[in-house]
Amino acid sequence: MQNIENLNHTRAALGSGGKIVIIDPGATLTAEALAMLQALHSRSTGGVDEHLKILAEKGADKFMSTYYVGYGHKSIGDCGMAVVFIEGVSMLAAKAIQDYKLYNGQEASTRYIDFAGQLFINPVGSPEGNKILETWRAFYLKAVEEMKVELKKRYPLGEGEKEVTYDKAIAARAFDITRGFLPAGASTNLAWTGTLRQFADRIAHLRHHPLLEVQEIAQVLEDGMIAAYPNSFSVEKKRYEATEKYVAETMNQYYYHDAHSREMEIVRDSIDIKGLTPYRELLVNRPAKTELPKWLGVYGEVALAFTLDFGSFRDIQRHRAVTQRMPLLTADIGFNPWYLEQLTPQLRTEATALIAEQKTAIESLTPDKNIRQYYLPMGYNISNYLSGDLPALVYLIEIRATSLVHPTLATKAGIMASLLQEKYGDAGLTFHLDPDPGRFNIKRGEHDIVKKE
């Protein structure tokens, strides 16, 4: 461990005589070194400067291999962070990785991917499978361009609006409409930031996932973590037979949720209305863009079941504060009509025929419902089941029931708000909602990350 003394840590004194030290890791303090520092800090009041000296003298290798891996002190693994980029995997694999309340990261948006040349994953490996995928691609590319022209007729540039922003908003709306025809086997990229412990825990489940693609990702990721953090991940890949069997059974038998809900409904309610009574003013007087205190969650949860297209499930799944089942993507409960309604009459006719033809082709391709997901477009409806406490649900609803969100999800968020308002409005529950969440909003064109000239 060299040049630790040259790192520029930020220091500030406290009035009580204490201090705050914000560590500058530079290129010297690795995730394992930072984990060691925090572990030492928990066992001694000597201060971080003393621990930095020990780290410089001894390094983190033996410490991490002994205490984190050897003794199994998992909390030490929570003190070191890793950043992983996973590229060229299916939308299904991305959702599997992100199906974890402790996941932090980003996934590529369908609005910013050029699907003309993007890899579509064909797990069956046959020409028939490739034909199905390429047929979706051809329709998508055609529809995107035609809808950009059509949308400019529907939503003319307004007075005072910037043409560059307007064009981006039109493109975003066109992508929102046509994404319903992209297969879930279309590839994407994602970033994942987590603690060493979180990676280890999640890999242990992903390697038993029903999809072989996800199993491979888990195996390659585990090997990569061993190479990057050899003192925090067991080179021997130690396994416990009973645990492995249990995880494998739960992942293969129970992972996918395939109940057929239609209208949104509250299917479970454990909210303690009496317990909320003292906090009525807190609920009523909450300003817009302000979250409810997390501790209100102790007064219970609500579970809701509803139909949602898979494309919008990708959006709602980002909310880690609620718990959601992973839906199985099938053709059983139909294609979301919104995507068809937004098309031009000619495209709608073509799309309706295409969906029917492709459905038959997919059913003939393989009897495996898990594999069929790769070939089904994201406009198909799935059964969503989620539960959360009031702070989590209020946040989800208010951030999703807006004109800046895909209309199929914004509409569902609005219905969710109505159900909860009806049930808990007397207790003071209040929402700050967009009055017209489905409208075309030019501000969508501002939601971009561009290089500053």
Domain ranges of the chain: 4-77, 81-255, 257-446
Distance CA 414, CA 394 (A): 11
- List C-alpha distances in Å: 59 to 4, 56, 403: 11, 6, 53
Closest CA to 185 of 253, 134, 256: 134
Note the CATH number of domain 81-255.
Answer: 3.30.70.3180
- Please name the residue that has the structure tokens 């409208």: 439
Per-residue pLDDT 10s for the chain (453 aa) are 446 677 777 777 867 776 766 666 666 677 777 777 777 766 666 677 877 777 777 776 665 655 555 545 677 777 778 888 899 899 999 999 999 999 999 998 887 788 999 999 999 999 999 999 999 999 999 999 999 999 999 999 888 888 988 998 899 999 999 999 999 999 998 898 888 889 999 999 999 999 999 999 999 999 898 888 887 787 778 888 999 999 999 999 999 998 877 789 999 999 999 999 999 999 999 999 999 999 999 999 999 999 999 999 999 999 999 999 999 999 999 999 999 999 999 999 999 999 999 999 999 999 999 999 999 999 999 999 999 999 999 999 999 998 889 999 999 999 999 999 999 999 999 999 988 776 777 776 666 544 445
Using only C-alpha atoms, what is the Rg of the chain? 25
- CATH 1.20.1740.10 assigned to domain 257-446? The reply is no
The pLDDT value recorded for residue 450 is: 45
Residue 335: DSSP 8-state: B
Distance CA 387, CA 305 (A): 9
Closest CA to 76 of 102, 111, 38: 38
- Please name the residue that has the structure tokens 């029931």: 401
The pLDDT value recorded for residue 359 is: 98
Per DSSP, what are the bridge partners of residue 20? 12
Distance CA 429, CA 89 (A): 41
- Give the dihedral sign, CA 426/432/435/437: negative
Output phi, psi for 232, to 5 deg.
-115, -15
**3-class secondary structure, 164:** helix
Structure tokens that stand for 61 in this block: 């290798």
- Say what the pTM is: 0.88
